[in-house]
Amino acid sequence: MSHDSGNGAPVAPSNFLRGIIEADQQSGKYAGRVDRQGAALPSVITRFPPEPNGYLHIGHAKSICLNFGLARDYGGRCHLRFDDTNPTKEEQEYVDTIIDSVEWLGFSWRDTQGEHKYFASDHFDLMYEMAEWLVSAGHAYVDSQSAEEMAANRGSFSEPGKNSRFRDRPAEESLDLLRKMKAGVFKDGEHVLRAKIDMASPNMNMRDPAIYRIRHAHHHRTGDKWCIYPMYDYAHPVSDAIENVSHSICTLEFQDHRPFYDWILARLAEGGFFPKPLPEQFEFARLNLTYAITSKRKLLQLVEEKIVDGWDDPRMPTIVGIRRRGYTASSIQLFAERIGVAKADSWIDMSVLEGALRDDLDPSAPRSVAVLNPLKLVIDNYPEGQSEPCSAPVHPHHPERGNRQFPLSRELWIEQEDFMEVPSKGYFRLFPGNRVRLRYGFVVECTGFEKDEAGKITAVHCNYFADSKSGTDGANTYKVKGNIHWVSAAHAVQAEVRLYDRLFKDPHPDAGGKDFKQALNPEAKVVIRAYLEPGTEQAKPDSRFQFERHGYFVADRVDSMPGRPVFNRIVTLKDSWGG
Ligand code: ATP
Ligand code: MG
């Protein structure tokens, strides 16, 4: 995509990664490449590389929108690559949910050349072949030190490491050992394959990093074929290069791994395994979201300790959770665009995510009425057993979407907070003697109320003005300040409504090693039975509404039954957290 201001003047790219890609496209750096079969390759290939060891969260969504978004905008493609090099932690369940989440977010790894869904384990044979070459070429050796010796000889930030006494063993000996490692001759930890770089490097990642380890474990895809597995730092660049990735985008903590990324690919290019130009790594700041945690380990703890009701609990920042909560894929994309990418870590406030949802749903969500904390309102001068239709727009800014109708009758439900026995200053809703408009209905005047023995108000009484109906001539002659919503008691739909809010009440629940369980918001899930506008019982799972004055709600995709939806509050209409 070329940036153009409309008057021909170029516009600065909106973030540094776009700047890099545009410069590379201009210089033709990745132009004219072909794959192993000779097919032309796009000049931008990115990838999203999750490890299938958990559910994706909102931080991953940022990375997905970034990688797939860049590929889309610059005529390239983005691969979905599972970094499945750690057999003991990975499962098919996670692969499936990751695929589902990326697709739900609206992205695809298919193009005219086919599917671009890969697994690092697809490349295990090639990776191993390259490892043998590295040994033969003197770039890697089998180290037989114990784990303790290896740790002691690694040095520290202030001290250089020491060469292993196995570092200079002949290449043939290393090769023989590597083959035996692969053949299953040794136990876990007896040997490792290490790159031969520099034990005195100020960058610890360059001090002869391990590239293969022995791990007698069943792999969810390769079964028992392998008992040695490549280390992430080796598998990652090699997978990128095998897949012809051009721009390998990762989070800042990998900055110190970049020298090894470049080193290993340069060696393998010398060995004729990869043509130039090689993929390059760029780092961006990970998403840190207030009032949320994005550590897979801590999210797992929430699930395992049953603090939440599973991975897709609508309070969870997982993609399955925010989806069930009612977030739209387009609101997540909008959020990702708004937060952009930066080179320094920072915090994004939860209100930015919530704001994106409001901005996405406001123009589209049909309006509806819900009474969440019901109080009976009796219109004493309205005939018993009678009702009449009232009409309201489906959407106030889209008259073409038509009107909805719902009946008014003698007994209604209104919100408890819309009546006060003794009004506070500035309160202009119902109180004895005051008039309000029943939204889309009549003006009523409060004539009294009933209380039970405990002093709780159980009903409010009023009279209506028959010539005040909204939309009729003369309705405007009644000037009232208050305008309250209601549903007819005889016609309302009773439904379970789950009022969700932020899972934590502390903006940084796990900062500085704090116990995030102390920061849980006990009001993050409040389940009520509410009275809804007739017709809402037909709501299909995943359909969203703005319940007027209350916020955005969705019919829960898991617990809704035909004719009996359960609603989740996605977000209130206004931010009440001061964000
Ligand atoms: P792990 O600790 O298990 O490695 P991870 O969150 O890094 O957890 P990965 O599956 O390795 O999980 O992540 C896949 C991709 O998502 C990586 O490229 C990673 O950089 C990116 N990613 C993960 N967390 C965030 C985040 N908070 N913000 C932006 N990108 C993220
Ligand atoms: Mg990771």
105-145, pLDDT tens digit by residue? Answer: 999 999 888 899 999 999 999 999 999 999 999 999 999 99
Answer positive or negative: Cα dihedral of 531, 532, 535, 540.
Answer: negative
Maximum C-alpha span of the chain? 102
Residue-wise pLDDT tens digits, 479-497:
999 999 999 999 999 999 9
| Cα(50) to centroid(ligand 2), Å | 7
Residue 502: pLDDT band (50, 70, 90) is: very high
Say how far apart CA 234 and CA 41 lie, in whole Å: 24
51 as an active site residue: the answer is yes
Residue-wise pLDDT tens digits, 33-45:
999 889 999 999 9
- Ligand positioned closest to the Cα atom of 49: 1
Q: What is the mean pLDDT of residues 335-356?
A: 95
CB of 194 sitting under 6 A from ligand 1: no
Name the residue with tokens 């800014």.
Answer: 397
| Cα(51) to centroid(ligand 2), Å | 7
CB of 51 sitting under 6 A from ligand 1: yes
N residues, the chain: 579
Say how far apart CA 175 and CA 154 lie, in whole Å: 23
Q: What is the pLDDT of residue 11?
A: 61
165 as an active site residue: the answer is no
> Which H or E run includes 152?
helix 147-152
Partners of 367 in the β-ladder? 546
Residue-wise pLDDT tens digits, 265-279:
999 999 999 999 999
Q: What is the pLDDT of residue 474?
A: 85
Q: What is the mean pLDDT of residues 525-552?
A: 98
Confirm if 192 and 210 have CB atoms less than 8 A apart: yes
CB of 60 sitting under 6 A from ligand 1: yes
Single out the catalytic residue among 22, 51, 411, 537.
Answer: 51
Picking from 200, 162, 195, 343, the residue whose alpha carbon sits closest to that of residue 261 is 195
Partners of 547 in the β-ladder? 368, 551
CB of 368 sitting under 6 A from ligand 1: no
The number of beta carbons lying within 10 Å of the beta carbon of residue 369 is: 24
- Judged against a pLDDT cut of 60, whether residue 4 lies above it is answered with no
| Cα(489) to centroid(ligand 1), Å | 50
Single out the catalytic residue among 154, 169, 286, 549.
Answer: 286
Give every CB contact of residue 497 below 8 A, 6+ residues apart in sequence: 370, 372, 527, 528, 529, 530, 553, 566, 567, 568, 569
DSSP tag of 292: -
Name the residue with tokens 């876990």.
Answer: 188
Q: Which of 130-134, 346-350, 471-475 has the lowest mean pLDDT?
A: 471-475
Q: What is the pLDDT of residue 163?
A: 98
- CA atoms within 13 Å, Cβ hemisphere of 117: 12
- CA atoms within 13 Å, Cβ hemisphere of 487: 23
Confirm if 221 and 52 have CB atoms less than 8 A apart: no
| Cα(91) to centroid(ligand 1), Å | 17
Residue 91: pLDDT band (50, 70, 90) is: confident
- In single-letter form, the type of residue at position 462 comes to C
pTM above 0.75, yes or no: yes
Q: What is the mean pLDDT of residues 394-399?
A: 97
Instruction: Give nearest CA residue, ligand 1 atom 14.
Output: 50
CB of 317 sitting under 6 A from ligand 1: no
